[in-house]
Structure 1
Amino acid sequence: MKVPIKQIFREFYLLSNRLSLVEKVIYGVFSIALVRAVYLTILNLSKKIIDYVLANYQMIFAIFFGGLAILIFGLGFYLYILKVRNKQNSLDESSVDDETNEPRNIYTEGGNYNANINGDQIEIYGDVININQDFSEIAQEIRELITELKNQGYSEEDAKTEIATELAEEARKKPKVRKKLFMWKKSFSTNTKKTNDETEVAREVVTSATAYSHTSSKDFTEVVSGHYQKLDELLQAKNWKEADLETAKIIYIISQKELPETSLYRTYLTDYFCSEHIKVLPRKDLNNINKLWLKYSNGRFGFSVQKRIWKRIGGGSDTTYNSEEIQEKFGDEVGWRKEGDWVYYSDIYYSRTAPSGHLPICLMLNSEKSERCDIDFEILEVIVGRIS
C-alpha cells in the first residue's frame, strides 16, 4: 500500500514537535553529519569512476563497440537465415505455377525469342499473354498494349493493326493459338461472316477487345467488396494519391496475417514493409487490386502495366540479373526519374495523364516524404513474378 508523500511529511513534523530543544539540536547535528558523509562518499566514488574511465577508456570503448558489433552481426545473420528460409518456402509453393505458366526464353543474336513448349503463351510487343485466360483478361492486356503503343506515338488504328498483325503471326505458327483466335472471334465478335484469314480474324478480336467491358470478368464481383471497397471508391473518384496509399495499406493488412508465426516481420518489425509481404500475399488479392487500377485508369496504371514495361526493357524477377541501369531505365520510362535523377515524393504525378505505369508506387518506397524516391526494386521484382 502506497503512503502519500504529504502524509509522511506531516508525521515527521508532528514527531519533531515532540522533541525537546536539546534533542532537536542533537538530531540536527547528526542529520548534517549524515548528509555530509553521504555527499563525500558519492563525491569520492564519482572521482574514482571518472579516473578509472579516463585511464582505461580505450579498453572500455573496445568492449562496448565489440559487444555492439557482435550483436549487430548476430541480428544480421538471423535475418539472413530467416529470409533464406522464407524464400525457400515461397519457391516451394510456387514451383508448380512456375512449371506451367512461365515461358522458356531462348536468347539468340537477333534478340529474345519466346517459346512455350505447350503453346499456351504468346508474346506481343514484349507482353507474354496466356491464351488460357478468360477473354476479359486477354482483352485487358490488349487494351494495355494499345495504350502503350499510343504513348509511343502510334495512332489508335495503327496500334490495333500492329497488335492484330502480331497476333495473326502467332496463330499461323501455333495451331492451338489459331484455334483460340477463331473461338474468340466466334464468341465475342459482332461480325458473323465466316473467314479463314488469320489477319482478318485477329483484327476482329482486337476490335472486340477494345469494346469489351472492364467489368465483364466473372470474378469482378469480388473486387468491389471486402478489403477493396474504399480503394474502389477512391479510384472511381480519380483520387489517385489516396488510392496509392490505400493500396499499400490493403496489401500490408492482408499479407501481415499471411506471414508465418515465426516471421520477424510479424513479431518484432511489425511496421516494416518488404518483399516478404508480397511473397505471401494471395495471388487473388494481388490480381484484384490490379484489376481495379486498370479499370479506373483505362489500362494506364496497375501492376500488370509495370510488369510489361519492366520485362520489355530487360528486367526479370531475380535481383541478380537486374542492374542499376535497368532500374534507372524503368524509372525514366514510368516517370519516377527526371533529368537523370529520382524525383522527390512531392513530384509523384497523381494524375490520369501521368506516364503509363507511374502508379501505384507507395508500397515500393523506402524513403521519407521529404526525400527523393528510393525504390525497393525487390518488391517490384516479386510483383512481376507473381502478377497474372
Structure 2
Amino acid sequence: MKILIKQIFREFYILINRLSLVEKLIYSLFIIALIRAVYLTILNLSKKIIDYIVANSQMIFAICFGVLAIFIFGLGLYLYISRARHKQNILDEISIDDHTSEPRNIYIDGNYNENININGDQIEIHGDVININQDFSEVAKEIRDLINELKNQGYSEEDAQKEIATELAEEARKKPKVRKKLFMWKNSFSTNTVKTNDEIEVAREVVSSATDYSYTSSKDFTEVVSGHYQKLDELLQAKKWKEADLETAKIIYVISHNELPETSPYRTYRRNYFSSEYLKVLPRKDLNNINRLWLKYSNGRFGFSVQKRIWKRLGGGSDTTYNSEEIQEKFGDEVGWRKEGDWVYYSDIYYSLRSPSGHLPILFMLNSDKSERCDIDFEILEVIVGRI
C-alpha cells in the first residue's frame, strides 16, 4: 500500500511538470477551492465538537483523568522494566570483560600437518607471523590464505574453517587476551546480534567474517581517490561518518543524474531527490567503489554489501513482490533504524563505529525530511541488493 501511494505521487509529480502554465493555473484555483471547502467543513465540525464538550464537560473530565492515570502507571512500569533490562545488559557486558582483561601469551598447536603458534600479539602459521592487533583486513587476508593452504592439503572449505575456529576457541578459553580479541571482532563484523559467551560459536563467526571480508587494500584505491571519490575517501579516513553519508548521497545523485537518458522524466525531479531509477543507471563500477570505501574505513562494519547480507539473511530479495513489511521492519531493527517498535528520527541515527552493522550509509535511501521519522525507500535497497 505504501509503495502504491509513493508511485501515485511520483506519477502526479511527472504529470504536473508536463502541464502548461494555463493548465497549472486552473489546477491551482481548483485546489484552492478544495482547500477552502475542507477548511470550512473542519471549522463547522470543530464548533460542534466544542459545543458537545462544553455540555458534557464533567463526564469528559472524569474519562480524561482516568486515562491519564492509566498512562502514568503504564509509563512508570515501562521505565522500571527498561531500567532493569539496562542494568542486566551492563552486568552481561561486565561478565564478558571480567574474563578478557588480562593480557597473556597464546600457543595454539593445530593439526594442519604443521604447527600453528599464537604468541601474545602474533600468530605464526608455517613461518608466517600475523599480528592480531593489526587492522582486521590484514588478519582476514591471512586467515583466507591459510584456508586456501589447508584446501591445497586436502581440506574442504568447511573443514578448514572449522579447524581454525576450533583451535582459536580452545586457546581463547585459556587466554583472556585472545578471547577479548575474538569477542571484539565478533561484535564489530558479525550480523548476528544475539549475545553469547560460547567461544567456539564466536570463533566460527570470526572465521566466517574473515572469509567474507574481501575488500581490496589501500594500494588498489588509486583510481577511486583520484576520481569522484577523493572527498569521500578523506571523510571516511577521518571517521567523519555523517559528512561521508551526505557525500555518498551527493556522488550517487551527480553520477546517476548524468547517466539518465535525455528523455527520462526523472531528470526534471527536484535536486537531490532520489529514486530507485537513479540506482538502476548508476554504473556498477561506481556502486562497488563506494561500497569498498565504506568497508575499508569501517573495518567491514558499514557499506552496501553489509546491508545486502543482512537483507538476504532476513529473507529479503531484489523483487518488491516478495519483500513484506515484516522483513523491512526486521531489517530496520537489526541495523538500528528502528527502536522499540518504531522507526527512529533522523537525529537519532548514530554516526559511530559502535552503531550496529549495516547502520550506514542511509541518507540516499530516505524519503523523509531530517525532522521526521526515517521513511526508508526500500525500492532503492532492493536495487542495490540486485546489483552490488
Q: TM-score, normalised by structure 2?
A: 0.49
Greater radius of gyration (CA): 1
